[in-house]
């Protein structure tokens, strides 16, 4: 009974001395305690929520001590204390800018650590309007702008709520400048809804900030989106009767802002799902049902066959089968010099051409539709389809793939490389096709079908 009590007192006193060492930034004392108890930092790490020595040193601004702890226990940097804050959160709250930058230099993803109410360090600086740190965060970890709080608010929402026009400008223009996620993702972030369905424009309208409203419109935010209450940004402004909101209202109207009653409403989800199945839906369901349910091996085999058909029909369209008109040896000189001569030219009758061309085009279109449908299932959506033609030209859009198109005589070389996030479905598949035969070989050059 007495021994456990002694052990408890020893651990308690050691922990107390550890906290004192962290407050003073005393590295020598830290190692004295480690020599006495090698598991002292491990015990702290086992606690789900704790004021670790890194929390204490970060808040106090003892950079050397904090860096020493980061070397010994980097996991402390992501641990939350009993109030829901990580070391970098505490450093921000205490204005320890140099400490924040030093922590980020070791692990840039610390800017994405979510603390109390799901707020990250980026959310904190967006609310405070610290433009220097805001720029540093966005530069070191651009993806942090995607993080949301428990209220589904982005850093854009928080900057608008706190009337931080400059911070909002930095966030918007940084998003536009880096363009990491493509136009569709940029638009999604601009029109992201919080828990009440409000976009950043709704927030800017509710705070009656004309410059903020204009800035958002210039960044191509959707003007007439409605929130959970069915209100547009213009409706929110007009509901504020005791505030002079003429400037904001005029800006919205000049750029096409409407009231919710004047906008075209989309049918609700239950109405759409409960509506009658159209002939087009039924037709697509019949066509793609077997593709959706087939195994991965069968879908891969089908994809290869469809690419072969697509290649053959494409080549046939470029060089349709025909006979060549020969010269008439017995013809007179006048006929030989006629401008209407078809000597050496590919000729085909109209009827024969149509009988060839129409089925070939139908086969090409069907193969293309099936390939797109198959890839949409396997790759969870096709974002880009690159189909280049030319002669001996090449370029490299990124590190993963490049495209060229080689043509020699009546033989066209086609390579298909299909890229899917996380894995390759078909890689380095080359199809060499002519009018008479199809052959597979391996190479690194030629036309590429790119899926991301």
Residues 186-221: tens digit of each pLDDT? 788 899 999 999 999 999 999 888 999 999 999 889
- The Cα diameter of the chain in Å comes to 128
- Mean pLDDT, rounded, for 362-385: 65
Considering 11-25, 235-249, 253-267, the range whose residues carry the highest mean pLDDT is 11-25
The answer to whether residue 177 scores a pLDDT higher than 90 is no
Structural element, H or E, at residue 252: helix 246-254
Same domain? 304 vs 436? yes
Q: Is residue 355 located within the same domain as residue 417?
A: yes
Within-domain flag for 374: yes
* Helix, strand and coil percent figures for the chain, each rounded to 5: 55, 10, 35
Assess whether 249 and 351 both reside in one domain. no
* Each residue's pLDDT tens digit, 136-151: 999 999 889 999 999 9
103, part of any domain? no
Least confident of 38-47, 270-279, 349-358: 270-279
Q: Tell me the residue range of the domain where 245 lies.
A: 193-262
CATH classification at residue 242: 1.25.40.20
Residues 437 and 306 in one domain: yes
Supply 411's token pair.
Answer: 């033989």
Question: With contact defined as beta carbons under 8 Å apart, do 22 and 33 qualify?
Answer: no
- Domain membership of residue 44 (yes or no) is no
pTM of the model: 0.62
| Pair 428, 300 in one domain | yes
- Contacts of residue 157, Cβ cutoff 8 Å, sequence gap at least 6: 192, 194, 198, 200, 203
Q: What is the pLDDT of residue 292?
A: 66
Domain identity same for 290 and 406: yes
Residue 57 in domain: no
pLDDT at 435 > cutoff 70:
no
Residues 230 and 295 in one domain: no
Averaged pLDDT for residues 326-350: 54
Cβ atoms of 55 and 61 closer than 8 Å = no
The answer to whether the CB of 317 falls within 8 A of the CB of 325 is: no
Residue 422 located in a structural domain:
yes
Do 303 and 243 share a structural domain? no
State the pLDDT at residue 320: 75
Separation in Å, CA 299 to CA 304, 340, 375? 9, 52, 9
Instruction: Give per-residue pLDDT as tens, 50-97.
Output: 999 999 999 999 999 999 999 999 999 999 999 999 999 999 999 999
In this structure, are 291 and 213 located in the same domain? Answer: no
Task: Name the residue with higher pLDDT: 56 or 321.
Answer: 56
Could you give the C-alpha distances from 220 to 159, 201, 255, 265, in angstroms and in order? 18, 11, 11, 20
Q: What percent of the chain has pLDDT over 70?
A: 69
- Same domain? 258 vs 375: no
Q: What mean pLDDT value characterizes the chain?
A: 76
Element (H, E) at 206: helix 200-206
Cα atoms in the Cβ-side hemisphere of radius 13 Å centred on 353? 10
Residue 278: inside a domain, yes or no?
no
**239 and 380 in one domain?**
no
- How is residue 222 written in tokens? 């959707």
Higher pLDDT: 29 or 242? It is 29
* Total tally of structural domains belonging to the chain: 2
Is residue 448 situated within a structural domain?
no
Same domain, 306 and 430: yes
Contact (CB, 8 A) for 57 and 66: yes
**185 within some domain:** no
């Amino acid at each position: 009974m007495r021994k456990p009590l002694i052990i408890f007192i020893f651990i308690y006193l050691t922990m107390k001395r550890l906290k004192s060492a962290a407050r003073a930034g005393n590295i020598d004392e830290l190692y004295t305690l480690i020599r006495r108890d090698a598991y002292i930092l491990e015990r702290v790490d086992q606690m789900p929520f704790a004021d670790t020595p890194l929390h204490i040193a970060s808040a106090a601004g003892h950079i050397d001590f904090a860096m020493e702890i980061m070397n010994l226990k980097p996991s402390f940097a992501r641990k939350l204390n009993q109030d829901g804050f990580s070391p970098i959160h505490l450093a921000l709250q205490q204005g320890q800018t140099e400490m924040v930058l030093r922590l980020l230099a070791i692990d840039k993803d610390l800017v994405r650590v979510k603390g109390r109410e799901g707020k990250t360090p980026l959310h904190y600086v967006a609310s405070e309007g610290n433009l220097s740190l805001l720029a540093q965060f966005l530069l070191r970890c651009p993806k942090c702008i995607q993080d949301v709080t428990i209220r589904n608010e982005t850093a854009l929402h928080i900057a608008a709520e706190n009337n931080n026009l400059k911070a909002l400008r930095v966030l918007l223009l940084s998003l536009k400048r880096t363009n990491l996620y493509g136009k569709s993702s940029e638009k999604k972030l601009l029109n992201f809804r919080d828990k009440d369905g409000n976009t950043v424009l709704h927030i800017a309208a509710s705070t009656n900030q004309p410059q903020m409203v204009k800035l958002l419109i210039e960044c191509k935010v959707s003007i007439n989106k409605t929130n959970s209450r069915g209100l547009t940004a213009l409706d929110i402004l007009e509901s504020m009767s005791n505030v002079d909101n003429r400037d904001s209202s005029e800006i919205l109207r000049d750029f096409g802002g409407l009231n919710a009653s004047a906008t075209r409403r989309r049918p609700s989800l239950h109405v759409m799902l409960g509506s009658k199945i159209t002939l087009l839906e039924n037709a697509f369901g019949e066509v793609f049902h077997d593709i959706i349910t087939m195994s991965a091996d069968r879908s891969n085999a089908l994809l290869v066959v469809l690419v072969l058909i697509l290649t053959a029909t494409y080549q046939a369209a470029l060089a349709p089968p025909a006979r060549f008109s020969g010269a008439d040896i017995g013809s007179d000189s006048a006929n030989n010099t006629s401008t209407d001569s078809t000597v050496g030219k590919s000729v085909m009758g109209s009827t024969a051409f149509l009988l060839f061309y129409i089925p070939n085009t139908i086969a090409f279109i069907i193969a293309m539709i099936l390939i797109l449908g198959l890839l949409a299932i396997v790759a969870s959506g096709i974002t880009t389809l690159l189909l280049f033609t030319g002669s001996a030209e090449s370029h490299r859009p990124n590190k993963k793939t490049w495209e060229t198109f080689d043509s020699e005589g009546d033989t066209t070389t086609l390579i298909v490389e299909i890229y899917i996030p996380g894995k390759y479905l078909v890689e380095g598949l080359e199809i060499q096709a002519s009018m008479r035969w199809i052959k597979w070989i391996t190479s690194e050059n030629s036309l590429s079908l790119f899926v991301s």
